[in-house]
Amino acid sequence: MSTIETISRPVPVTILTGFLGSGKTTLLNRILSEQHGQKIAVIENEFGEAGIDSDLLINSEEQIVEMNNGCICCTVRGDLVRILGQLAEKRDSGELNFDRVIIETTGLADPAPVAQTFFVEEKIGEYFSLDAIITVVDARHAPQQLEEHHEAQEQVGFADRILLSKTDLVSEQETAALIARLRNINARAPVRKVHFGETEIDQILDIKGFNLNAILDIEPDFLTDVSHTHDDDIGSFVFRSNRPFDLYRLEEFLGDMVAVYGKDLLRYKGVLFVRDSPNRMIYQGVHMLMGADVGKPWTVSETPESVMVFIGRKLPKEAFMRGLKKCLTI
């Protein structure tokens, strides 16, 4: 790949995922037809449960790129990097004009390798910014899919927003039970119902759900009642404390835990209250990759508090909680 020229504002990227038949393409068509005034480059699989309507693409004048073998998760270090690089070069040369990128993964894809591309590929990370992972969940088939397909759990676990489709095909009780289960797997991602892709664009674009440099506002409504046990492999838990962290001890502890459990840590992020710092510390990670940044100052009216969210596969919650408590100052 040729050298990519760094731009002042990275091009935002949205990863659109969801299990087979969940309604990803319907949602994508909805986004492309919306009068949002932005030009979107789309990277999609060569094959899938439904193709994008050709008339819609012509009318919306979007740039569509298909992966060669139809499996993004298997080619993330090859085709995805190459295609993003080519899009950047064509944009810089004036051959293409787009404001953002949407990557639609195949229904059986694990989102992790796609997300990691923006962490480990330096030139890609300089030009593009991963804005969020949007997961579409089929209310009718999700209970069975979550039981039988680990990828379905991964897609929910990585989500910054969960859109629940086909709720008209199930009862209110079934919908409520599914939402509770989804929040067990991923406590921080808002869950919203969506009918044939109809959703507010500002709820899925430019939400900065996956930006390491953004100020992460973790909504309390999505962090409550997540500590109970459930049958899914993937779960989440929250650590809170009004006592400040000793940053050195915390970095050492998290480094050790990531080294041991990194492959099972899908997502972890938080706002930290650190000793001797007037600012909050923002951190976020994916598997073995972890980053941190200084956030905005604590205001006089605020009570500083650390809030940390961990989402992963059969994580030893008590070991994490004990270790984090030992990193607090007395």
Q: May I ask the CATH architecture of the domain 220-326?
A: 2-Layer Sandwich (3.30)
Confidence of residue 213 (pLDDT cuts 50, 70, 90): very low
Q: May I ask the CATH architecture of the domain 11-203?
A: 3-Layer(aba) Sandwich (3.40)
- Whole-angstrom distance between the N-terminal and C-terminal Cα of the chain? 51
Q: Write down the pLDDT at residue 308.
A: 87
- Rounded to 10 degrees, what is the CA torsion of 64, 201, 22, 74? 40
Q: How far apart are CA 159 and CA 166, in angstroms?
A: 18
Delimiting residues of CATH 3.40.50.300 domain(s) in the chain? 11-203
Confidence of residue 13 (pLDDT cuts 50, 70, 90): very high
Q: How far apart are CA 14 and CA 147, in angstroms?
A: 27
User: What's the Rg (C-alpha) of the chain?
Assistant: 20
Delimiting residues of CATH 3.30.1220.10 domain(s) in the chain? 220-326
What are 120-173's pLDDT values in tens digits?
778 888 899 889 999 999 898 899 889 878 888 889 988 889 999 989 989 999
Three-class SS state of 84: helix
The overall average pLDDT reported for the chain is 77
Confidence of residue 176 (pLDDT cuts 50, 70, 90): very high
What are 68-120's pLDDT values in tens digits?
433 444 444 567 888 888 889 988 998 888 888 988 887 767 777 788 778 77
222 Cβ contact partners less than 8 Å away, ≥ 6 residues apart = 183, 187, 188, 189, 190
Residue 56 has pLDDT above 60, yes or no: no
What are 272-319's pLDDT values in tens digits?
999 999 998 888 776 777 778 788 899 999 899 998 888 787 889 999
Q: Write down the pLDDT at residue 316.
A: 93
Q: Is the dihedral of CA 176, 132, 48, 120 positive or negative?
A: negative
What is the token pair recorded at 219? 């909504």
Q: How far apart are CA 116 and CA 124, in angstroms?
A: 11
Q: Write down the pLDDT at residue 69.
A: 38
Confidence of residue 268 (pLDDT cuts 50, 70, 90): confident
